[in-house]
Amino acid sequence: MDAKRKYTRLVQSVKENIDKNVIKKKRIKNRNRHQAKNKELWQKVNLDTLVERFAPDSVPEINSNGKIIFHTPGSNVQLVAEATIGSVRIERLDFSGQRRYLDLDGVLRNNITVDGKTRGRTKEEYELATHFRIKKLNEM
């Protein structure tokens, strides 16, 4: 599967549609501003490898928020790629709430144990564990 090439083609389509819609452009700009703070700290991943592991034989689609979704029918996991910032997350569809993203091992990372005590992760800790940057084609 060549998910990275399909993703790259869809990114162009997303960017063209965003430019036409002023409200969506403003919402995405705010989302990107927030994510850009920690983006450099996120681990780089190979999109083809992630798709093969978590959404094999999927066809990428653009959702109403301008995100590219890789989902295999019948699966409870999907990949959510941010076309405008070059990031990807692994989402569990059968969990409710906001924190339903997984790490690269497919484990939910909502809590952390410190000194033998379990506590919820801060927003920054959670994003570092569950948000990833997509490697560029020339980095693969």
Domain range list for the chain? 3-139
Among 28-32, 52-56, 110-114, the least confident range: 28-32
- Does 2 or 70 have the greater pLDDT score? 70
Share of the chain above pLDDT 90, in %: 29
Residue 72 backbone phi and psi in degrees, to 5: -90, 125
DSSP label at residue 135: P
State both tokens at 8: 């790259």
Residue 33 backbone phi and psi in degrees, to 5: -60, -40
Q: Can you tell me the distance from the alpha carbon of 80 to that of 84, in angstroms, rounded to the nearest whole number?
A: 12
Q: How far is CA 11 from the centre of its chain?
A: 13
Residue 78 has pLDDT above 70, yes or no: yes
Residue 13 has pLDDT above 70, yes or no: yes
**84 near 28, Cβ under 8 Å?**
yes
**140 contact partners, CB below 8 Å, separation of at least 6:** 4, 46, 48
